[in-house]
Amino acid sequence: STRIVGMPYANPRGATPSEGLRLFSDAIEYEDFNYREPFVGKGAVRAFVEAFDIAGIDFVPQRVSEGERAVCFTWKVVVNGQDGPSD
C-alpha cells in the first residue's frame, strides 16, 4: 500500500485520477481531516478524488507511513507549478 498511495492523485500519461483506484480494494476507506466522515468504497473515493481533478492543481504525497494493509500520508498542494499554502 505504501508504494501505491499516490496513485489516485497521479496522472501518468494522461490517465484519469480514478484509474489508480483499480489497484485498491472495493472496501477502500479514505479519511481526510478536513471531512467529518470517511469516504467508504471505490464509488465514494472515486467521486471525492475526481472532484479535485482540477487543471493546474496537483496533490503531491510527502510523508508516507509504512503499512501492508493500511497507510497514512500527508500531501502538499501545487498550484500551476507553485507550492500552495502550507498551513
3-state secondary structure of 75: strand
Q: What is the pLDDT of residues 21-55, one digit of tens each?
A: 887 889 989 888 889 999 999 999 989 888 887 88
Q: pTM for this one?
A: 0.68
Residue 41 Ramachandran class (φ > 0 left, ψ -120 to 50 alpha, else beta): left
- For residues 76 and 60, the answer to whether their CB atoms sit within 8 Å is yes
